[in-house]
Structure 1
């Protein structure tokens, strides 16, 4: 949509990864510039962030998906139309790292409708470096395997949080197939998906 609506482009971003890796905390840190201790997300929640980068006014609709297995079926439709996907693991929990390749990367292959979508691998909780179980080099190697950008972040100290989302937005802007004016369609999809989600017996969300 044009600048008369307040922004030039609207992008849909997903946060995926195991429960407890800090997806919601990363999102809150980026949206509001402060950190909260958050309960696990129930189903799917989303938040919106407006900002300007490379001379373009962007609207990011960032979907925060639950990591628990019992919510996994609720999230498949949320991959539809996403221009960016952030895969998050906890550097102090090796299982959350190995699950990205074993579970989450396979979900992207199954459900992602934008084959050119930009992916970012994020190792979160680097403020707990003394308890680290996944090395930076291992993260870099997995990012290469996935063809992703790579950042190590801390939602708690905000290290690299803004940079992660900003670099993702810049990369999306470089891909013509992702930047076509789909803002209206994206908004309709968001409304439809939210209505579908709220209609389920376990509907509702928390931030």
Structure 2
């Protein structure tokens, strides 16, 4: 086999995945959404982060059990003036990362509005995790863990605290949502072939479907391996044509 052929095959194998899932990252401006996502993608803190303008897109492929999952990650602006635009990107989302700042009571007070928009526009099977960011600033805390945990339970969403500065728990929200979606697929409650599900089959999964009547997800309870990072960043600015 020629080197160029080998290189092409290796690239195809690297990019192969079983499922593609659409996630949205939502919440008030200044809660650290972009920094959280940046640390998840790059495993490093994003210095001098500015407010997101419109929507930014990135992706990462992760391993869960025997499955490779490509996550489409839509980071939305938290400022009110972009709300009508960013809400259009909620459509068909399978997962939502709902972020507030543990040092900001105001960012916590508006969570219900963000969640209501997501539930109204995203997939009917939307999986949401509430993320209390900036856990490294516990001495400035305005929202107690117990209060946020109760809000999450009352609204039937998952909950955890993270620090986009230290990286503590940064991967957990994304992997938790992806795992919950996989389990919903295996149980039959979510059909990736249904429009608006926020999930689609990748080439690897389609090959398995063709050779077997049942998808096997292997063990999802073990600690997942860190996935291959593939980054694609695009900034969308109102008034311009989206890609």
Per the normalisation by structure 1, the TM-score is 0.85
Larger Rg belongs to: 2
Gap change, CA 1:175 and 1:72, over 3 Å in 2: same
Unpaired stretches in structure 1, ≥5 consecutive residues: 186-193
Deviation readout 1:37-87 (Å, 9 max, x if unpaired):
311100001100011112100100110000000000111221111110011
> What corresponds to 2:121 in structure 1?
111
* Matching of residues 75-90 of structure 1 within 5 Å: 75-90=86-101
Q: Could you tell me how far 1:110 is from its partner in structure 2?
A: 2.7
Once superposed, which parts of structure 1, at least 4 consecutive aligned residues long, lie more than 2 Å away? Answer: 176-179, 181-185
Could you say which structure has the higher helix fraction? 1
Contact 2:60 2:71 in 1 (8 A): yes
5+ long unaligned stretches in structure 2: 1-12, 194-198, 203-233
Which of residues 43, 51, 54 in structure 2 aligns to 1:40? Answer: 51
Aligned residues: 191
Secondary structure of the structure 1 residue equivalent to 2:68: strand
Partner residue of 2:78 out of 43, 67, 75: 67
SS of aligned partner of 2:171: helix
- Correspondence for 2:206: none
Per the TM alignment, residue 184 of structure 1 is displaced from its structure 2 partner at its CA by 7.4
Q: Hey, what's the Cα distance between the residues in 2 that align with 1:52 and 1:184?
A: 15
Does the CA contact (< 8 Å) of 1:9 and 1:179 recur in 2?
Answer: no
Provide the residue aligned with 1:154 in structure 2: 163
Q: Cα gap change, 1:115/1:14 in structure 2, threshold over 3 Å: closer, same or farther?
A: same
| Pairwise CA distance, 1:165 | 1.1
> 2: CA distance between counterparts of 1:100 and 1:121?
9
CA-based RMSD of the aligned residues comes to 2.4
Relative CO higher for 1 or 2, CA cutoff 8 Å, sep ≥ 6? 2
Residue number in structure 1 paired with 2:200: 183
